[in-house]
């Protein structure tokens, strides 16, 4: 049995407290009124303009006056005289919304990132059981520990989505489906059969319910198999793993439309579900490697040897390439045909997110392919840890790139709200996962492939 | 060249062969060659053979293929005749790079795979019409053969090999090996 060391527990609690403080700070500082945003924009303009500083300020002030004067006058006249002013106003309002959205998006990106690790591990676990893998049973308890985060993590994602509302999902803006309303959007209205708040949460709960149900039962059968005197539980876990994988691939795809793609409701991509899946799968496998290496360094996983590490690292390597394949396929097809309604997705990312957008390709592809290609390197724990940390950071940036351009646009920065959100959920993740690891012995007993796995040799 | 004598020990089981190899190595005799009908797991380690470097050559060949692809398309599409084909930006290589990636990938794989195979053929001396070097046709079916050079220690070797479970021990005058 593993005991959650006090040091690690304190560490995770410190992470959560620090994260919570930072998230609170992020929300406090994001409450900017329209006037504050205007002064901020004027200041920015003066910084950029240098010599034009005064001019910009004057323009900003006149915008204010014009805007107020023009609000309740004849419409056509207002448009004619205060076209500029209106434009300035709209711009400031747009920026204000982006600033308001930032702490929500930061929280959502981090929450989704850690939830997807647990979900990726669950899928990996089900595949190991359904394929009757002979090498991995010694790692099952580690995987089961990680998937314990799925329930709290998934509920948190849904809760953030619920409270963030239109801060994250523009299709929840008031009146967006009402014809004649100033927010009316014909395209979104056409999709409201799928994109509506009730449907979103019903689907979300069904997805999460199915995954958690599989997690609970597979865990139950796994524990029961330890003390059983036949293989009934193993057979049951095999059957539900196969069933879960079918359920998973449908729901994961739909989840990616709902939870991620819908932040850009005008945009759609057919391989998006796979793309998100690749991201979650490789992050999940990386976390399995990191936690196994940590536990082994504590001496509680003596039956895991460098052959198992080698196999996990091979999966990290292969799925990093798989992720790149999907990332590139999605990008290249859209870039190549350059259809305006699709290509804006990458235009915004390229214009405002150049460093994260291209940086993640380096972290998620170039780095792992060079670091993990050599068979000897895959057997060196510190090497796998280093590569793993880069991969995890790269996939955080991946999720960041999916959400942020739609919610905060060019107002992004990896600052206090983003870092604290990651700390908060990292702390919670460590706390939940390592608590779950203490609940059962770290080696499956009586699992039919246990012996083979213990003697696994590459 | 001077004819040398070798001893051929024949086995019928790969496990016996493995333990024989270990015993012969422990007695510090040099094993010239082992002929088996199929790959025996761990035999190279037991014989103390150096690990292969063919993966490293493949990596280098892949880099060569990638370079060929980049240089070729940069010359053809960007430098030599930068036409406007369907609005693709042919001003610089990087601007049109996504369109070149499929070819860059394929040529990398092509070079890595084919040159590695050719390297393998050359290093293991395999080509059409080559004379087979098989000392005993049964080793392609179900027998294993260990070949040890004799340096005046015929009897000692013979008894050692008999101990290891060899089903047949032959002493053979060998024309120049290979």
Neighbours of A273 (CB within 10 A): 21
Chain A residue closest to B98 (CA)?
A: A332
Report which secondary-structure segment, H or E, holds A285. helix A272-297
* Higher per-residue confidence, B47 vs A89: B47
From chain A, the residues in CB contact with B59 under 8 A are: 373
Other CB atoms within 10 A of residue B86 CB: 9
Mutate to test the interface with B, among A322, A336, A365 (most CBs of B within 10 A): A336
Phi/psi at B148 (nearest 5 deg)?
A: -130, 135
Question: In B12-143, where do the E strands start and end?
Answer: 31-35
Q: Is B63 on the interface with A (CB under 8 A)?
A: no
* B59 and chain A in contact, CB less than 8 A: yes
Give the residues across from B31 on adjacent strands: B148
Interchain contact B76–A (C-beta under 8 A) = no
Between these two residues, B2 and B46, which has the higher pLDDT value?
B46
Cβ-Cβ contacts under 8 Å, A333 against chain B? none
Per the CB < 8 Å rule, is B98 touching A331?
yes
Shortest alpha-carbon distance between residue A324 and chain B (Å): 12
Strand partners, B6: B149, B172
User: Looking at the complex, does the CB of residue A202 fall below 8 Å from at least one CB of chain B?
Assistant: no
Residues of A in contact with B98 (CB under 8 A): 328, 331-332, 335-336
DSSP state letters, A323-346: HHHHHHHHHHHHHHH--HHHHHHH
Q: Is the pLDDT of residue B175 over 80?
A: no
E strand or H helix that includes residue A149: none
Identify whether the C-beta of residue A419 lies closer than 8 Å to the C-beta of residue A22. Answer: yes
Q: How many CB atoms lie within 10 A of CB A223?
A: 18
Please tell me which of the candidates B55, B87, B101 has its beta carbon nearest to residue A328. Answer: B101
pLDDT band at B157 (very low <50, low <70, confident <90, very high): confident
Residues of chain A with pLDDT under 70: 48-88
Rounded distance between C-alpha atoms, residue B143 and residue B150, angstroms = 22
Distance of CA A408 to the CA centre of its chain: 16
B86 Cβ under 8 Å from any chain A Cβ: no
**DSSP three-state, residue B32:** strand
CA gap A116, A290 in Å, rounded: 16
The answer to whether the CB atoms of A335 and B101 lie below 8 A apart is: no
Q: Is A340 on the interface with B (CB under 8 A)?
A: no
pLDDT at A87: 65
From B55, B59, B98, residue closest to A336, measured CB to CB = B98
Option in B55, B87, B98 nearest A332 (CB):
B98
Distance, CA of A4 to CA of A17 (rounded, Å) = 19
Question: What are φ and ψ of residue B67, in 5° steps?
Answer: -65, -45
Distance of alpha carbon A385 from alpha carbon B38, whole angstroms: 38
Measuring CA to CA, how many Å separate A433 from each of A14, A439, A447, B25?
Answer: 16, 10, 22, 50
- Give the chain A residue whose CA is nearest to the CA of B56: A374
Q: Could you give the maximum distance between any two Cα atoms of chain B, in Å? A: 82
Tell how far CA B123 is from the center of its chain.
7
Strand, coil or helix: what is B31?
A: strand
Cβ <8 Å between B101 and A332: yes
Judged by a CB distance cut-off of 8 A, whether residue B87 touches chain A is: yes
Contact B87 A338 (CB under 8 A): yes
Residue A43: the pLDDT is 85
Mean pLDDT computed over B38-55: 93
**Which chain A positions have a beta carbon within 8 Å of B87's beta carbon?**
338
| HEC string for A346-399 | HHHHHHHCHHHHHHHHHHHHHHHHHHCCCCCHHHCHHHHHHHHHHHHHHHHHHH
- DSSP count for chain A of H helices, then E strands: 18, 0
- DSSP SS3 for B8: strand
Residue A132, sorted as left (phi over 0), alpha (psi -120 to 50) or beta, turns out to be left
Smallest Cβ–Cβ distance between B99 and the set A336, A373, A375 belongs to A336
Using an 8 Å Cβ cutoff, are A88 and A60 in contact?
Answer: yes
CB A292 within 8 A of CB A138: no
User: To the nearest whole number, what is the mean pLDDT of chain B?
Assistant: 91
Q: At what angle do helices A416-437 and A6-30 cross, to 10 degrees?
A: 150
Residues of A in contact with B99 (CB under 8 A): 332, 336
CA nearest neighbour of A172 among A273, A263, A254, A90: A263
Query: CB contact, 8 Å: B97 with chain A?
Result: no
User: Which of chain A's residues have a Cβ under 8 Å away from the Cβ of B55?
Assistant: 375
Residues in chain B, overall count: 178
Q: How many CA atoms lie within 13 A of B79 on its CB side?
A: 6
Long-range contacts of A296-303 (CB under 8 A, 24+ apart): A296/A381, A297/A381, A298/A2, A298/A5, A300/A2, A300/A442, A301/A138, A301/A142, A301/A442, A303/A138, A303/A443, A303/A454
Residue A210's closest CA among A255, A159, A165, A162?
Answer: A255
Task: State the pLDDT at residue A94.
Answer: 87
**Interface size, chain A vs chain B, as Cβ–Cβ contacts under 8 Å:** 12
């Amino acid at each position: 049995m593993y005991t959650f060391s006090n040091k690690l527990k304190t560490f995770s609690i410190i992470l959560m407290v620090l994260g919570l403080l930072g998230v609170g700070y992020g929300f406090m500082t994001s409450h900017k009124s329209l006037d504050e945003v205007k002064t901020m924009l004027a200041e920015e303009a003066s910084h950029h303009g240098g010599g034009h500083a005064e001019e910009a300020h004057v323009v900003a002030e006149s915008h204010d006056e014009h805007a107020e004067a023009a609000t309740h006058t004849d419409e056509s006249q207002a448009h004619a005289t205060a076209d500029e002013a209106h434009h300035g106003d709209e711009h400031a309002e747009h920026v204000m919304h982006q600033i308001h959205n930032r702490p929500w998006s930061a929280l959502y990106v981090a929450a989704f990132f850690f939830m997807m690790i647990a979900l990726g591990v669950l899928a990996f676990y089900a595949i190991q059981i359904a394929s009757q893998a002979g090498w991995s049973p010694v790692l099952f308890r580690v995987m089961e520990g990680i998937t314990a985060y799925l329930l709290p993590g998934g509920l948190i994602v849904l809760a953030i989505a619920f409270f963030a509302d239109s801060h994250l999902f523009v299709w929840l803006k008031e009146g967006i489906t009402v014809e004649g309303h100033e927010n009316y959007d014909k395209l979104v209205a056409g999709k409201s059969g799928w994109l509506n708040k009730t449907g979103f949460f019903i689907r979300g709960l069904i997805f999460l319910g199915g995954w958690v149900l599989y997690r609970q039962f597979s865990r139950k059968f796994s524990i029961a198999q330890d003390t059983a005197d036949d293989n009934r539980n193993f057979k049951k876990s095999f059957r539900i793993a196969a069933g879960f994988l079918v359920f998973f691939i449908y729901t994961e795809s739909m989840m990616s439309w709902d939870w991620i793609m819908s932040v850009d409701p005008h945009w759609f991509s057919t391989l998006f579900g796979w793309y998100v899946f690749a991201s979650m799968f490789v992050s999940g496998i990386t976390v399995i490697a990191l936690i196994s290496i940590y536990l082994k360094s504590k001496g509680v996983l003596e039956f895991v040897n460098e052959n198992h590490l080698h196999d996990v690292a091979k999966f990290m390597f292969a799925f990093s390439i798989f992720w790149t394949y999907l990332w590139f396929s999605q990008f290249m097809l859209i870039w190549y045909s350059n259809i305006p309604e699709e290509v804006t997705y990458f235009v915004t990312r390229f214009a405002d997110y150049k460093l994260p957008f291209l940086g993640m390709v380096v972290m998620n592809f170039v780095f792992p392919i060079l670091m993990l290609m050599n068979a000897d390197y895959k057997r060196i724990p510190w090497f796998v840890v280093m590569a793993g940390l880069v991969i995890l950071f790269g996939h955080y940036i991946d999720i960041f790139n999916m959400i942020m351009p739609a919610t905060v646009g060019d107002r992004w920065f990896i600052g206090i709200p983003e870092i604290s959100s990651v700390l908060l959920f990292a702390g919670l993740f460590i706390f939940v996962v390592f608590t779950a690891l203490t609940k059962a012995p770290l080696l499956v007993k009586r699992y039919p492939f246990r012996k083979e796995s213990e003697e696994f040799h590459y | 060249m001077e004819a040398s004598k070798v001893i051929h020990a024949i086995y019928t089981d790969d496990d016996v062969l493995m333990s024989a190899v270990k015993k012969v190595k422990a007695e510090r005799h040099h094993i010239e060659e082992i002929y088996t009908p199929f790959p025996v797991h761990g035999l190279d380690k037991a014989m103390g053979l150096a690990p292969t470097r063919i993966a490293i050559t493949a990596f280098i060949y892949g880099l060569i293929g990638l370079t060929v692809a980049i240089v070729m398309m940069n010359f053809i599409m960007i430098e030599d005749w930068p036409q406007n084909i369907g609005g693709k930006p042919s001003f610089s290589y990087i601007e049109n790079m996504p369109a070149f990636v499929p070819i860059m990938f394929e040529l990398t794989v092509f070079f890595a795979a084919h040159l590695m195979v050719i390297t393998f053929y050359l290093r293991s001396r395999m080509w059409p019409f080559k004379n087979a070097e098989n000392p005993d046709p049964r080793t392609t079916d179900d027998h294993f053969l260990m070949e040890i050079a004799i340096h005046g220690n015929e009897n000692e070797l013979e008894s050692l090999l008999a101990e290891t479970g060899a089903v047949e021990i032959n002493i053979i005058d060998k024309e120049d090996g290979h």
